[in-house]
Amino acid sequence: ADNFEFIKLSKTGEQQNIGLIQLNRPKALNALNNGLMEEVGKALEKLDSDSSVGAIVITGNEKAFAAGADIKEMANNTFAQCVGGNFLESWTKVSSTRKPLIAAVNGYALGGGCELAMMCDIIYAGESAKFGQPEILIGIIPGAGGTQRLIRSVGKSKAMEIVLTGNQVNAQDAEKMGLVSKVFPADKLLGETVKLAEKIASNSQITNAIAKECVNVALESTLKEGLRFEKRMFHACFATKDQKEGMAAFVEKRKAKFTNE
C-alpha cells in the first residue's frame, strides 16, 4: 500500500478506471509544501503508467483545493537555496502527465493552488470555489505558471488584474472568463468530475494522449507549427488498431471496443 502523508490516492468510477488524488492537509488548507508536491508527483507517475487508469482527477476538500504554496515553509528561503535546490521542480510532473487530468476545485484555489489547477487539462468548480494569485500581497509573484497560463485562458486584462491585485475570483466569474469549464453545487462536484473523467476514459488511451499533446502544442508554439504537428498526428492515428475499431464500430452501428493499441 502507498504510504502517503499529505495526499490520498485511490481508484474510483464504475470500472475503477479513474485515478483520484485527494490533497489531504486540511488543517493548513492544503498548503502545498515540498513533501505534498513530491507525493503528487509520485502518485501521478504511478497512475500515468497504470494501464487500467484512463483519466485522473485531483481534488481537495470543501474548504480548500489548495490555499497556495506553503508560506511558512518558504518564508526564509534564500535565492541561493531556491536556485540550488531547484525550488518548484517537482511541480513539473503535473504538467508532463500524459493521461487526461481534471481538477475538481471546491473552496480556495489560491497562488500555487490556482496554478496547480491550471496545470490540469480541465477545471470543474464548486459554487463556493475561489481562485486567485495573491502572491503580490506577500512580496512575491506567481512562480508555477500564474503569469503564463492564466493569460492564455482569460486574456491580458483579466490576468493582469488578478496578478496585480491579488483579488479572488468566484466560481461564476471564473466560468464566465473561461478559467473553469463548469460549476456545480459543492456536494455534486466530485461526482460530476468523475463522470467527466469516465466519459474521457471510455476513449482509446492512445488517442486521448495524442489529442492532449496536440492541444498543448497550441499553447507552446506558433499556429503554423501547431497545425503541422496536428496534421501529422492525425495521420498517425491511422496506424492504430483503435482507429480501425472506432470506424468499424461506426459502420456496423455498434459501440467501439478500444484496446489501446
Residues that bind ligand CO8 (CB under 6 A): 28-29, 31-32, 67-72, 88, 108, 110-112, 115, 134-135, 138, 142-144
Residue whose CB is less far from ligand CO8, 73 or 127 = 73
Shortest distance (Å) from residue 108 CB to ligand CO8: 5
- 73 counts as catalytic: no
Q: How far is the CB of 203 from ligand CO8 (least distance, A)?
A: 32
What would the 3-class secondary structure string for 26-86 be? Answer: HHHCCCECHHHHHHHHHHHHHHHCCCCCCEEEEECCCCEEECCECHHHHCCCCHHHHHHCC
Comparison of 135 and 242: residue with beta carbon closer to ligand CO8: 135
Catalytic residue of the set 19, 54, 68, 112: 112
Considering the complex, state which of residue 133 and residue 208 has its C-beta at the smaller distance from ligand CO8: 133
Closer Cβ to ligand CO8, 135 or 175, answer by number: 135
CB of 157 to ligand CO8, least distance (A): 22
Is residue 135 flagged as an active site residue?
yes
CB of 90 to ligand CO8, least distance (A): 9
- Catalytic residue (choose from 66, 69, 144, 201): 69
Q: Which of 135, 144, 175, 201 is catalytic?
A: 135
In the numeric block, the cell 455498434 is attached to: 254
Q: How far is the CB of 154 from ligand CO8 (least distance, A)?
A: 18
115 belongs to the catalytic site: yes
**Residue whose C-alpha is closest to residue 124's, from 68, 218, 63, 195:** 195
Q: Is 69 an annotated catalytic residue?
A: yes
Q: Which long-range contacts (CB under 8 A, 24 or more apart) does 34-39 make?
A: 34/70, 34/73, 34/90, 35/5, 35/6, 36/6, 36/7, 36/70, 37/90, 37/91, 38/90, 39/4, 39/5, 39/6, 39/7
- Interstrand relation of 169-170 and 108-110 (parallel, antiparallel or unpaired): unpaired
Question: For the chain, how many helices (H) and strands (E)?
Answer: 12, 10
Which run of H or E residues covers position 23?
Answer: strand 18-23
By beta-carbon proximity to ligand CO8, the closer residue of 121 and 135 is: 135
Catalytic residue IDs: 69, 112, 115, 135
